Structure 1
């Protein structure tokens, strides 16, 4: 009877200490646009979308985004923000730090009224980038 208790205790401890694996999501981009501030501090218009064929990875195991552009961009996730949903969009937000130590906010936005088109925003205080993205398997 005592050995059965120890066996059950061992099983509960083993299951209690197992770690769950966060998922890794990969997105492929089709195009990108940028917007920056002018000399007076006002936002310029978004640039025309240009073709962009790169992979963006959300690695939940390492709490980071990897943007595999010509110059590799790494973003450490400092905080996961609450999901915001309204009738037009679902938005997932992340406070991040890039590989040069600059703070930014990354948003993954799903446009509900546009056939669930997805966009990936990287927002700095003086620069914004947006990629049109879709899920890859």
Structure 2
């Protein structure tokens, strides 16, 4: 009986350790803007910031980022890049792919000099989308 308890304890610790490394982060967007390349391949201007309220999920269990917009955007995380910290920004970047298999980078940038404001950038070949985001838990408390 004592041996069985020890086995259950060891199994519990092993399973618990695995779950502690995998997490799901939820954000809520408050606005977005788009930057597109023109026919000549030059970047245009950022669009006006549009208000939005979308849920964005970073799921490290399933290696994906999901943006719950009118058309759900699902991005597979191919690689977790090294976190970069500068004087003003903290950047967590992910090499991702979409349904077409094209690689691109999604970054979550924390602007330290702007009250730790967070932004999510989707950097594709012909378009960049930026979402202003807040932690989903913070939106529930307000």
TM-score calculated relative to the size of structure 1 = 0.87
Structure 2 gap segments, 5+ residues each:
138-142
Partner of 1:78: 78
CA drift at 1:102: 2.7
Q: How many residues align?
A: 134
Q: Is the 8 A contact 1:56 1:68 kept in 2?
A: yes
TM-score (norm 2): 0.84
Q: Could you say what secondary structure the match of 1:121 adopts?
A: strand
The answer to whether residue 18 in structure 2 is matched with residue 26 in structure 1 is no
The 5 A counterparts of 1:1-137 are: 14=11, 17-18=14-15, 20-21=18-19, 22-137=22-137
Does 65-74 or 14-23 show the bigger shift?
14-23
- Structure 1: unaligned runs, 5 residues or longer: none
What CA distance in whole angstroms lies between the structure 1 residues aligned with 2:25 and 2:115? 20
More helix by share: 2
Contact 1:73–1:99 (8 Å) recurs in 2: no
Root-mean-square deviation (Å): 2.1
Matched residues in 2 for 1:79 and 1:30: separation?
27
